[in-house]
């Protein structure tokens, strides 16, 4: 059991042990200290020789020598003052202005060789005659050509993965494959941090990090993934707030995030505030956080597993017991599905995990029905030709079913329920006298979609 007052781990990154040439425990570089001393002597001695009072000399030194000494001691942009000045003048001398075009000067004509005898003279005359027959491409002096991208790149060559620049620098680029740090366990996160500390100890002194954040589309690579409760609750300090949650894990489908619960054959205990915090945390992590967002703008939903379909009826009718400590439909989740731990329930979960099958099955069942009517007092998914509200219950959304039954009871209406054949008996008992039923063969659905 984790301690309630558990504090976050603090990691101290040690200094680079390869970096030498420093004084005062690495506070100042030796080169900077020498340059500061020489600059202080050069700037301070003339003022010390002045025929003035001590106060005047101190003021003059504070206004001139002291600022120069501090700049030389600290350095500029991580470099010593002398290195910065030399690099500045080197840049001014060798800087490249990107404008205009690059002139091409004509090459000087080569001097003709003097023939040694009559045979050489005859050969030279033949070559000149042939040259005159060919169209001559003259290059006029001062002719300009368009500059290319290569003219502006400060790269001399690339060899063995190292970029050699024209100003005598060497650049090595390393691509680091990203990992989802927040979904790692506490031990894995600690090992990653220690490995990064080891790398920093041997890394070059001058190093830049270029971070590219891109949202990855994982729909093409995975159909669904399941994380157990131990993995789900190892998300940092926030897990202390949800450690008493009854969730068995999280199921990541193609377009839906499901918190999974397993009540078995008995009614499970339920604490509203804990499960609400769990829902908010998972929604923030997977639907709002830019680093781990998989379902933008979505909400975490829930899936309850039970021993059989009789357990579904118990869950639908539960009020939480005398102390309201057991499960009840309290509106924590907008959608709360139920599936039995049977082969039929396994098929139902496979349908929930496939957005393509869900959409095609929904369109197939709605093909002979009228579209829903906004503002109708009874919750429904479609309307029959005679105006009877129709509910698609094959996904067995318990919150949807509860709202459908309450509205029918309140307004005295009658509805139609479309469900799988193995769900019909339980729904008839739950909606007795309130609706008629149309069963869909689960076996036919399996054959049609190859489940």
Assigned domain for 293 exists: yes
Q: For position 211, what pLDDT does the model report?
A: 78
Q: What is the pLDDT of residue 362?
A: 92
- Number of structural domains the chain divides into: 3
pLDDT band, residue 401 (cuts 50/70/90): very high
Same domain, yes or no, for 431 and 390? yes
Closest-CA residue to 252 (of 213, 287, 297, 280): 287
Specify the pLDDT at position 149: 72
How far is CA 187 from its chain centroid?
A: 22
Q: Is residue 8 part of a domain?
A: no
Residue 16's nearest CA partner among 207, 152, 232 is: 207
pLDDT for 186 = 80
User: Which pLDDT belongs to residue 228?
Assistant: 75
Average pLDDT value for residue range 205-210: 78
Residues for the chain: how many in total? 451
Residues 113 and 124: their CA atoms lie apart, in Å, by: 9
Q: Are residues 374 and 317 in the same domain?
A: no
pLDDT of 419 over the 60 cut: yes
The answer to whether residue 394 scores a pLDDT higher than 90 is yes
Q: Which of 91, 106, 132 is the last residue of a domain?
A: 91
265 and 325 belong to one structural domain: yes
Looking at every residue in the chain, the average pLDDT score rounds to 80
Domain boundary among 43, 61, 91: 91
- The per-residue pLDDT for range 24-70, each reduced to its tens digit, is 766 778 888 888 888 888 888 888 888 888 888 888 888 888 888 88
Q: Is residue 245 part of a domain?
A: yes
- Confidence (pLDDT) at 11: 56
Q: Are residues 333 and 289 in the same domain?
A: yes
The predicted model gives 407-433 an average pLDDT of 92
Tell me what pLDDT residue 45 has. 84
In a domain, 172, yes or no: no
**Which of 36, 44, 46, 41 shows the shortest CA–CA distance to 82?**
36
226 and 334, same domain (yes or no): yes
Check pLDDT > 50 for residue 304: yes
pLDDT digits (tens, 9 = 90+) for 346-368: 999 989 888 889 999 999 999 88
Question: 53, 73, 91 — which closes off a domain?
Answer: 91
Cβ neighbours for 187, distance < 8 A, ≥ 6 positions apart: none
The neighbouring-strand residues paired with 416 are 390, 436
The whole-number average pLDDT for the span 239-262 is 83
What span, in angstroms and rounded, lies between the C-alpha atoms of 316 and 335? Answer: 13
pLDDT band with cut points at 50, 70 and 90 for residue 2: very low
Q: Taking residues 275-284, report their average pLDDT.
A: 86
Strand-by-strand arrangement of the 435-440 sheet: 382-383, 389-392, 415-420, 435-440
Distance CA 69, CA 38 (A): 9
Same domain? For 227 and 336 the reply is: yes
pLDDT of residue 4: 46
Look at residue 229 and tell me whether its pLDDT is greater than 80: no
CB atoms within 10 A of CB 57: 15
**Same domain? 304 vs 387:** no
pTM for the predicted model, two decimal places: 0.53
- Are 451 and 386 within one domain? yes
Q: How confident is the model at residue 420 (pLDDT cuts 50, 70, 90)?
A: very high
Do the domain assignments include residue 110? no
Domain ranges, residue 229 = 222-341
Task: Identify whether residues 244 and 314 lie together within a single domain.
Answer: yes
Q: Is residue 148 part of a domain?
A: no
252-271: pLDDT as tens digits: 887 788 899 999 889 988 98
Q: Which pLDDT score is estimated for 5?
A: 47
In a domain, 450, yes or no: yes
Lowest-confidence segment of 55-69, 145-159, 331-345 by average pLDDT: 145-159
The dihedral of CA 114, 115, 116, 118: what is its sign?
negative
Higher pLDDT, residue 1 or 377? 377
On whether residue 32 sits in a domain, the answer given is yes
User: Model confidence over 99-144: pLDDT tens digits?
Assistant: 444 444 445 555 556 666 666 777 777 777 777 665 555 545 555 6
Q: Are residues 336 and 389 in the same domain?
A: no
């Amino acid at each position: 059991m984790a301690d309630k007052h558990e504090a976050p781990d603090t990691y101290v990154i040690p200094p680079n042990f390869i970096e030498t040439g420093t004084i005062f425990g690495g506070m100042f570089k030796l080169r900077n200290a020498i340059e500061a001393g020489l600059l202080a002597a050069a700037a301070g001695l003339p003022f010390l020789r002045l025929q003035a009072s001590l106060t005047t000399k101190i003021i003059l030194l504070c206004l001139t020598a002291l600022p120069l000494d501090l700049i030389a001691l600290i350095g500029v942009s991580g470099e010593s003052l002398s290195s910065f000045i030399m690099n500045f003048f080197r840049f001014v001398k060798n800087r490249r202005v990107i404008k205009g075009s690059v002139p091409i000067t004509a090459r000087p004509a080569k001097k003709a060789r003097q023939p040694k005898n009559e045979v050489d003279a005859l050969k030279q005359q033949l070559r000149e005659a042939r040259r005159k027959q060919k169209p001559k491409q003259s290059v006029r002096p001062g002719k300009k050509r368009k500059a290319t991208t290569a003219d502006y790149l400060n790269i001399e060559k690339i060899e063995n993965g190292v970029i050699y620049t024209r100003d005598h620098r060497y650049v090595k680029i390393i691509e680091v494959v990203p990992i989802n740090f927040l979904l790692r366990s506490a031990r894995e996160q600690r090992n990653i941090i220690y490995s990064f500390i080891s790398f920093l100890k041997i890394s070059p002194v001058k190093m830049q990090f270029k971070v590219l954040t891109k949202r990855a589309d994982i729909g093409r690579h995975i159909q669904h993934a399941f994380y157990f409760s131990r993995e789900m609750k190892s998300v940092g300090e926030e897990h202390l707030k949800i450690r008493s949650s009854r969730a068995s894990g999280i199921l990541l489908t193609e377009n839906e995030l499901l918190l999974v619960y397993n009540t078995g054959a008995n009614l499970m205990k339920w604490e509203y505030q804990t499960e609400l915090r769990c829902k908010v945390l998972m929604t923030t992590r997977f639907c709002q956080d830019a680093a781990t967002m998989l379902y933008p703008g979505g909400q975490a939903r829930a899936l309850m597993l039970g021993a059989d379909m009789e357990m579904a009826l118990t869950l639908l009718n539960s009020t939480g017991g005398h102390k309201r400590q057991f499960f009840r439909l309290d509106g924590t989740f907008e959608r709360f599905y139920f599936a039995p731990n049977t082969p039929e329930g396994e098929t139902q979960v496979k349908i929930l995990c496939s957005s393509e099958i869900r959409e095609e099955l929904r369109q197939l069942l709605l093909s002979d029905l009228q579209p829903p009517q906004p503002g109708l007092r009874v919750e429904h998914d479609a309307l029959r030709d005679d105006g009877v509200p129709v509910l698609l219950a094959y996904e067995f959304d318990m919150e949807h079913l509860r709202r459908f039954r309450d509205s029918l009871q309140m307004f005295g209406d009658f509805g139609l329920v479309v469900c799988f054949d193995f769900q019909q008996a339980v729904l008839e008992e739950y909606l007795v006298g309130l609706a008629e039923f149309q069963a869909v063969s689960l076996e036919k659905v399996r054959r049609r979609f190859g489940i």
